[in-house]
Structure 1
């Protein structure tokens, strides 16, 4: 490729090359030793991970969320970038393919495609954050002016607009290259000297085609500066700024939603009440009021989402902001391009890291994604990895949404909406007793007086005890029936009062996933 622009003084170009070589060569040489191993690992694992990512997101359970359309498009862009970069790095100087017309065409395509797909991935991330914020904002607003945004139509429009923005921003880069045929030249001497890696591929005195990428005749320093200004501002700095703003707003909205949900639950839930003081109350079982388990689960989801958004912002800024500053600097001073040449492998590493982070984030923070991944690739996973994933799924499924303690038979559970239910338990001997509250009340016995019988003697003993205690048990059953009616009336009033608040909270929760 040619220098920063064709009309610069050759003396200025030589001076810039020497300056940035002395300044950055030590750093670049220290890292270049490891770059070959790092990019092989990131590209191979990243392409496989993104393919799995797309396959899982296309499953029916995952297609319910329109925001997964963004993730599919981002994964396609990322795997395209990593695959093309991996192929580009395989053919180095002196490789027999290096002097072919096919390879110079591929190099031209890579120079154009890599900038476009990487820019599209960045703008897709920005548009996803903007649309998610608008969905949450419309859900928390009582105004009906907001259209429905949590749809595939809105997501498709946002995806198309991101691709168009990336195309506009990378258009100058598409116009700054042309393929030049410099005729047939002798193979460079360092390619055929003794000990060279590809010396065996050439015959003494062999000629090869000298294809190069250069800049068109019309491409001067003005267009060079415009190209880098456009790429730096539209494809780097503006996405960084927008994503930082909207991710900050999203995190704040999620925190506020969690606080409102906690206040609502605290307002609805009465304090725990326990009545078990004498023998008769112990025979009837322990009656308790406990709050529903939605608060802890909602807080956990909000915290995971907040952590995921924070990591996305951090990775985005760490990998893209330095590149944006460097590209803008090249727009101001074209000679700075030689600094980018020295740091090219480090810049490539940042882009590869940004392209491989989505799968890791969703695999560690989304229970649904892990569940669908196991269903899809369970037979292909190594035994230890599959066991680890299944153990995490089992822990997530077994863990209650809120801390609870072991309840005795007959315990009353009051949910978030005020409804009460009598839990069913299994006695120690394994026999299951189903306690139908209405039937027991009609028979004049409380459900806790029922016990599984195994012998005739124990059955007669229970009948005598029931007859002896029929009056207090009937009184308790009548009181319990009145309590249920009162709770039903309170439930109806509470649901009418809080219907609008519940709708908003549900929209906030669904939109933030």
Structure 2
């Protein structure tokens, strides 16, 4: 521990005296360590440049929020980048396969059109996040403080918000589609058509960037001059609009409640209604079997069609449940951050942020495996895509006949 009057402290004294006189420093901090002086200098410089709000920094942190920090993030963040890159690369490949298989002629229908739109959104999210995860792995302090890296971080925050909102809209659309098919079959033929499905996908891709406008205004790039390094440092922080206006409130209600919590509640209700309708249909089928067996040819085909519909519904329910499981924790943490303020965001949401990101990446990467395991038609189409059957010769040649070709 060293005194502020020692000769080794002269460079620090010159910097600190730009904010506080030497006499005040000596009286307040008679014994100041090198680390403490560096911290104080950084904070004072940030406050002077307007990059830190002293009132927000002085906000009391409730002790109960500290229980969120269990030391997990310190050990996990060392491997987060590597796990994210692996999942993003694998998920990008599987979503390309989803787009190829689901757009084959024999696979085109209204439900698969929505799943294709979901695969495109997941693909864009995974590709962009892979570059962020790569910078997370090989990032150095100089790169993190650069202007170009701040621009990339700002783009990353906005792009992931837009693509994630698209995925949420399409997942809710898929749940509504399946609810109509199972619970309101008389409306299915003219409501859940292929043109309507294409329009629903288009609306999701158009409206999501518009819903993300408050997120664009929430953050901006801030410049801070570091006298020790004699260079300007850049970082992403809340914009002046967010600090001095109602934008944070609007952002909280739109992002945490309308885009996060409300879809989870709606999805939960739709899943429960679909499961209930499937249970009722199963009981009705069992009662019909007890009453007698069908004799007509059309009636004999009916159980097979019902079985295919049931398998498809189970597969889609698995997709919806997986989305709900990965989305609900993030929605709850976002809601609590808005209720309890900055202290909860720093000590809880920020602590589990990488885990929430990893869950979202897994959700966007595993749909291909769900389709392959639970859909016979998807498996068959995928196998034909890998090993197409030889073309059939429907016009056999007459023996001795010659065939001419033109290039």
Asked if these proteins are the same fold (TM beyond 0.5), I'd say: yes
RMSD between aligned alpha carbons? 3.5
Q: 1:8 to 1:172 in 2, by over 3 A?
A: farther
The corresponding residue for 1:171 is 213
Report the secondary structure of 1:250's partner residue: helix
Alpha carbons 1:120, 1:162 under 8 Å: kept: yes
C-alpha deviation, 1:136, in angstroms: 4.3
C-alpha deviation, 1:329, in angstroms: 1.6
1:348 aligns with 2:357: yes
2: CA distance, partners of 1:112 / 1:175: 10
1: CA distance, partners of 2:267 / 2:275: 12
The corresponding residue for 1:326 is 333
Alpha carbons 1:225, 1:334 under 8 Å: kept: no
2: CA distance, partners of 1:215 / 1:34: 28
Q: 1:290 to 1:121 in 2, by over 3 A?
A: closer
Q: 1:302 to 1:96 in 2, by over 3 A?
A: same
Q: 1:295 to 1:329 in 2, by over 3 A?
A: same
1:133 aligns with 2:179: yes
Q: 1:29 to 1:98 in 2, by over 3 A?
A: closer
1: CA distance, partners of 2:92 / 2:216: 25
The corresponding residue for 1:38 is 83
Q: Between Structure 1 and Structure 2, which shows a larger proportion of helix residues? A: 2
The corresponding residue for 2:130 is 86
Q: 1:22 to 1:265 in 2, by over 3 A?
A: closer
2: CA distance, partners of 1:332 / 1:243: 23
C-alpha deviation, 1:74, in angstroms: 0.9
Alignment of 1:72-83 (within 5 A): 72-83=116-127
Alignment of 1:378-417 (within 5 A): 378=387
Q: 1:217 to 1:131 in 2, by over 3 A?
A: same
1:312 aligns with 2:319: yes
Alpha carbons 1:243, 1:313 under 8 Å: kept: yes
Alpha carbons 2:101, 2:378 under 8 Å: kept: yes
Q: 1:233 to 1:267 in 2, by over 3 A?
A: same
Alpha carbons 1:308, 1:361 under 8 Å: kept: yes
Q: 1:57 to 1:270 in 2, by over 3 A?
A: closer
Alignment of 1:30-69 (within 5 A): 30-63=75-108, 65-69=109-113
From 209, 214, 224, the equivalent of 1:182 is: 224
2: CA distance, partners of 1:243 / 1:132: 11
Alpha carbons 1:251, 1:309 under 8 Å: kept: no
TM-score (norm 1): 0.58
2: CA distance, partners of 1:182 / 1:17: 30
The corresponding residue for 1:225 is 249
C-alpha deviation, 1:152, in angstroms: 2.0
Alpha carbons 1:81, 1:117 under 8 Å: kept: yes
Q: 1:37 to 1:94 in 2, by over 3 A?
A: closer
Structure whose alpha-carbon radius of gyration is higher:
1
Cα deviations by residue, 1:193-212 (Å, 9 ceiling, x for unpaired)? xxxxxxxxxxxxxx665222
Q: 1:301 to 1:258 in 2, by over 3 A?
A: farther
C-alpha deviation, 1:25, in angstroms: 4.7
C-alpha deviation, 1:100, in angstroms: 4.2
Alignment of 1:190-209 (within 5 A): 209=232
1: CA distance, partners of 2:298 / 2:111: 33
| Count, aligned residues | 336
From 275, 288, 301, the equivalent of 1:251 is: 275
1:242 aligns with 2:242: no
The corresponding residue for 1:451 is none
Larger mean Cα displacement after TM superposition, 112-121 or 102-111: 102-111
The corresponding residue for 2:35 is none
Structure 1 unaligned segments of length 5 or more: list them.
Answer: 188-206, 272-288, 380-513
1: CA distance, partners of 2:227 / 2:65: 30
2: CA distance, partners of 1:298 / 1:30: 51
Alpha carbons 1:180, 1:214 under 8 Å: kept: yes
Alignment of 1:482-493 (within 5 A): none
